[in-house]
Each structure stands twice: as C-alpha cells, then as structure tokens.
Amino acid sequence: MPANIIVPELGESIVDARVAKWLKKEGDRVAAGDPLVELETDKIDVEVGAPQAGVLAKIERREGADVKIGEVLGVVDAVGATSAPAAGHVGAGFSQPEPAAPSTPSARKLARQHQVELGSVAGSGDGGRVTRGDVESTMTAGADRREERVRMSRRRLTIARRLVEAQHTAAMLTTFNEVDMSGVMQLRERRKKAFKERYGVNIGIASFFVKACVGALRDFPRLNAEIQGDEMVLKRYYDIGVAVGAPEGLVVPVLRNAERLSFPEVELVIRDYAKKASDGTLTLEDLRGGTFTVTNGGVFGSLLSTPILNPPQAGILGLHKIEERPIALAGQVAVRPMMYIALSYDHRIVDGAEAVRFLVRIKELVEDPAALLLEV
C-alpha cells in the first residue's frame, strides 16, 4: 500500500519549511526510516525519513518549494519492498544511491552549490561524518571574475528579518564600558592546566561573563524581561543565549538555568554548542527561548561594536577583543589587558541609568573573579 511522506512537526513557532534537496529519486528502493528529503527551516535543517520500506513512487513537492506542516511531500509504495538492495548495489531501473559516508545537511548544501563530489571528501566528524569544513577544505578558489546568484536560505532570510524587526520595534540604545581583564587572565593562567586535566575543557572567558550576567541580572531584573502587550514579564530564571558562528549565519543556543551551572559546566555546554553549530546538528530545543544574550565579536578581532537585540529580549551584552592598553592606575601609567564591553537594551522598559549601572556591575564582577565566585 502507498504511504504519504508528510512534513513533520518542526518545533516551537515553526510552521513551514523549504524543500532543500531530495536525497532519493523516483523509483529508488528505500528502507523504513531511510532519509528521503531534506527540509530547510528558519532555525535548523530537518531530514524526513521513509514511512515504510518500498519504492519512492512519487515526489509531490520539488526542491525549492515552500511547504507547511502536514503537507504531502511524496509517496512511498510498499509494492515489491520485500528487501532493499544492499548499499552500493544498483538494480535495473534504479538510480545510484547517495555516497555511503554520512554528511551534515550544511555539507551537502555546500557541495551542491560548488559541484563537489561528496564521495571524494574524507569526513572528520563523528563516525566519519562529512562536515561543511571538510567540503570547504576540498574546494579551490579560481582567479576568474564569475558571479554567482544564490537564493537566500530561510535561515538567512529569518536572520535579516529579525535584525530589522529588532531595530523597528524596540527603542534600542547602547552603552559602553571597559574591563580590566588582568584578574581573569591571571586566574586562567594559574588554573588552566588543572582545569583542563579535571574537566577536559579549557577555561575560557565566556564562563566569567555568563556568571557575571547572572549576578547583574539579579540586581537589575528588567534586563531579564520582555514586553507582552502592555505588561512587562520579569523572568526569575536565567536562560543565557550565547551567540556562536554557524555556516548559515549567527545562531544563539541557550544555556538553560545558567544560575545553576558551574564554571566547568558552562564551558562544556558552550564547547558542545560550538561543535554542533559547526556540524549543522543544533536542534530546535538548543535554540528555543533565552532571556538575555551574550555575543563575543572579539573572537573575530572586533575592538568595538554595537550588538543588536535578540527579540523579545530586553538586553544583549557584547564582548570584544582583549588588547593591552596604557591606563591610569593609582596615579601611574600601567599597561593592562583591556576589553571594551557594550550593552544594547530596550529603552522602553530599561532606563539609561539602570543600563549603565548594570554594565558597571558586570565590570566589577569580572575585574574581581573572587567576588564573582561569591556572588553566583
């Protein structure tokens, strides 16, 4: 009997998707659960599997089509599905299957755009999984003057829409300060070896700022709030979003209940999120919600920038490059590792004085790591 391939539930607030690529062709034999089609959503890519063993009898929605939850993508016919052909075997009337080596959705997409044969790419991911980085390493840049017209992905379109929305709907303002990172740098230097041996991860600066944010948000709760209608919703929990780079653009996975996480736990979760972002394996749950965001342009060399709010959040903290600069200290000139920090906030519910004091509190906590440990 035929079985429809249905657009599945895609997660919180996602109601539609785009057909990115069919992984099988009409007439291909499939086993139950075999990935058939890749869907691109605003947040992640989703593979839809075969509802039963059989033959992909019909493709209803072609690549590039926009689809909604519950719509029929195609049909799998169980007729003649007593056994599926072995991997690598091509039967009469059936097309060559995909390469045996698994690859991430972002790797497949990049390979299609640049005509890279995935079967020739060695995978560096878990279980030999081919990542976007593996594909990029096989590509060579030409010296010609070609132009390429590439349709924007749903994720890039969503990022563009939300960035414009943030500036149109919120009264966004930014305040700046600077932090002497000497205490943090010295602590990291003293503890880095023991920390790595005990927890299996390096101690970075992110954990210090995440924990400082928790402490400052407790003192200034309207920066951990959002506007709903004519009410402010003050969150008494601290789900801190940490912006990380991904092939399709910046994504913001969330550290749930950051107030309960230890320094090593913060570093471990951020490391895992960074790897998943690179591999294209972040889930909808990883990205859902968030009450406040931290973004670090310093990893790319940024000295100063104005971060844009992540709606409906009321605040975002921007970190920047640590750079040795001369400062006045106790009447003397001293060279210290300094970082500019920036807080963008929704002026509709956060007053300017409140935002300035929040940023000063961040500065105080980070400049005195011992006080930070006592605070949080």
Has this prediction a pTM greater than 0.75?
no
Contact indicator for 36, 30 with CB cutoff of 8 Å:
yes
CATH node for 2-98: 2.40.50.100
Question: Of 14-18, 150-154, 252-256, where does mean pLDDT reach its minimum?
Answer: 150-154
H or E segment to which residue 5 belongs: strand 2-6
Determine whether 352 is exposed, middle or buried from the number of CB atoms within 10 Å of its CB (0-12, 13-18, 19+).
exposed
| Residues that are catalytic | 347, 351
H or E segment to which residue 156 belongs: helix 154-169
Select 157-375's CATH number: 3.30.559.10, 3.40.640.10, 3.30.360.10, 3.30.470.20: 3.30.559.10
So what's the pLDDT on residue 14?
78
CA separation for the pair 330, 107 (Å, rounded): 54
Contact indicator for 67, 94 with CB cutoff of 8 Å:
no
Contact indicator for 216, 226 with CB cutoff of 8 Å:
no
- Give the domain ranges of the chain: 2-98, 157-375
Task: Provide mean pLDDT across the span 9-19.
Answer: 80
Question: Which residues, in sequence order, are CB contacts of 94 under 8 Å at separation 6+?
Answer: 27, 28, 29, 85
Question: Of 18-22, 152-156, 215-219, 366-370, where does mean pLDDT reach its minimum?
Answer: 152-156
CA separation for the pair 118, 121 (Å, rounded): 5
Query: For the segment 111-142, what is each residue's pLDDT rounded down to a tens digit?
Result: 877 778 887 788 887 777 888 788 877 775 64
Positive or negative, the Cα torsion across 198, 204, 205, 209? Answer: negative
